[in-house]
Amino acid sequence: MPRELRRLARARRLRAVRVCGRPAWCGDGLVAVALGVGPARAGTSASAVLDEVVPSRVLVTGVAGGIDPRLHVGDVLVPAAVLDLRTGRTFVPPIAAHPSSRSSGGLLVTVERVVAGGAGAGGLPPGTAAVDMESAAVAAAAEERGIPWDVVRGISDTEGTLTPEVAGILRADGSADLRRAAGLVARRPLDAWHLLRLGVGSARALRAAAAAVEAGLGAWAPPEAHRADGHEPG
């Protein structure tokens, strides 16, 4: 989502543009694009963007829900592998964008909908560290084009924060249905605390992910990205 990239865009002083109709920011050798929520949307957007921008490397960033109890809100996950729960296909990052944090490791599982209830929910395999809704789809698009990729995700919530009731107010695009949220709080005042925790946790995760990406970009030193037609993205 755009809010997952705005902090990075401000830190790198990127200017707002549109790429393939998607909100984006570019400059300093980078093109940051909000691909949308969910594996189908993200995969379609990633394919279109990678054909137009033709980057030398791809980095997926944003937030993820923690499953491994050793992960806490605000931790940064740089997974050792990414599993597409829809297809069973596993992707292994061919590059380490942030060698110092690669030891965080673990399995990141890309799901089609928000998972609530911990490791036993949603058919998650043993050893799942966290879940997101896009990384495997972007990895597939990058690998189809022979482009190296990696993932850096901030942990926004852990087991017990995202209850089934709270998960029920989230739309397919990741936004909250405010009418349902108000009804939930009216019926179950305690869930207001879970909603607050989720909001605070998401903000903390975004700060952590942006800081990790910012630190790692120096090691990447990416060349100026270019469009397939030779022009700068705009």
Minimal CA–CA distance to 75: which of 224, 206, 169? Answer: 206
For residue 136, how many C-alpha atoms fall within 13 Å in the half-sphere facing its CB? 24
- In order of 79, 103, 189, 210, the CA distances from 4 in angstroms are 18, 24, 28, 8
**CA R_g for the chain:** 17
d(CA 8, CA 3) in angstroms, rounded, equals: 10
Residues of the chain with pLDDT under 50: 97-103, 118-120, 222-226, 234
For 143-163, the pLDDT digits (tens) are: 999 999 999 999 998 876 666
Helix axes 191-220, 178-187, angle to 10 degrees: 140
3-state secondary structure of 170: strand
Q: The domain at 59-219 falls in which architecture? A: 3-Layer(aba) Sandwich (3.40)
Answer whether 0.75 is exceeded by the pTM: yes
pLDDT score of 150: 93
Q: Which of 136, 145, 151 is nearest to 53 (CA)?
A: 145
Given this model, what pLDDT does residue 219 score? 60
